[in-house]
Structure 1
Amino acid sequence: MNRVDVKVKIHEELKPWLVDDWDLITRQKQLFYLPAKKNVDSILEDNANYKNSQGNIDNKEFAINEVVAGIKEYFNVMLGTQLLYKFERQQYAEILADHPDVPRSQVYGAPHLLRLFVRIGAMLAYTPLDEKSLALLLNYLHDFLKYLAKNSAIQRL
């Protein structure tokens, strides 16, 4: 399969989140309280509901729901191996042991979701999407990041 270079642009408003997140975990050795008050599933569902309320046609609603399902899947698969800092791994192991059947997207929140968007471009480079599908997906991902930035005060709680 040919590898395509896929870039997901993180909005300027969200970059301080990533820096604060890194500092909190790696330097200050603090962990997020889990389960998050606002988990990944609810953030993605709120965004999908918002997008679907904009008077979209059925096919677009289906596409939005498919993208949301895909983001959740990527998040749940990538969290344990690629989205955690070393200091968070013990907490992750405890959550996995205590709640093995609960998707991680129902436990973790916005900071971990944002980390996914830093890495997802590299993963999408290996997907069998045609150019048009990939462009539509990237458009949705960038729209979602705008939504996340716009609603950042709510999401950080």
Structure 2
Amino acid sequence: MFYTRFKSAAGEMLAFSEQNKLTGLYFSRQKKLPYLPHYQQLTQASTAPEYALFSETQKQLDAYFNGELEQFKLPVAFHGSDFQCQVWHQLTKIPYGSTVTYKWMADQLAKPKAVRAIAQAIGKNPLIICTPCHRVIASSGKLAGYSAGLAIKEQLLKIEGVL
């Protein structure tokens, strides 16, 4: 299990991997970060195979922030409950440049009464940006609930031309 830190257009990020799959991507100042002592830090000088994954992650993020990438193509692995993984997988189906509501997510998962549980699962999304939870907004149309903060959510939606 490895992690690295790098800079992005929206701030410092942490990337995590296990068995050469991306398992976490977080802004360093967001809520609910993994417990770092369980991971070994890799630096840019590393020769570990995981570094290629981290390098590609940073490359794709840079392209996203420059408006040159709409769909991430990274090997990922979700670690969560079956319900959380269902929610996170549904997030990957939200097209670039569009938004959906928490209610829409509940309807898509055939769990119309689970809006709050879905919102909680989205709040624990381990692959921020790659699994685009920033595209989920309140039914009122307002921005709501983003573990990295609403300013970053707004920035991401502006990149995608939604705002």
The alignment's TM-score, normalised by the length of structure 1, stands at: 0.27
Structure with more strand by fraction = 2
| Structure of higher RCO (CA pairs closer than 8 Å, 6+ residues apart) | 1
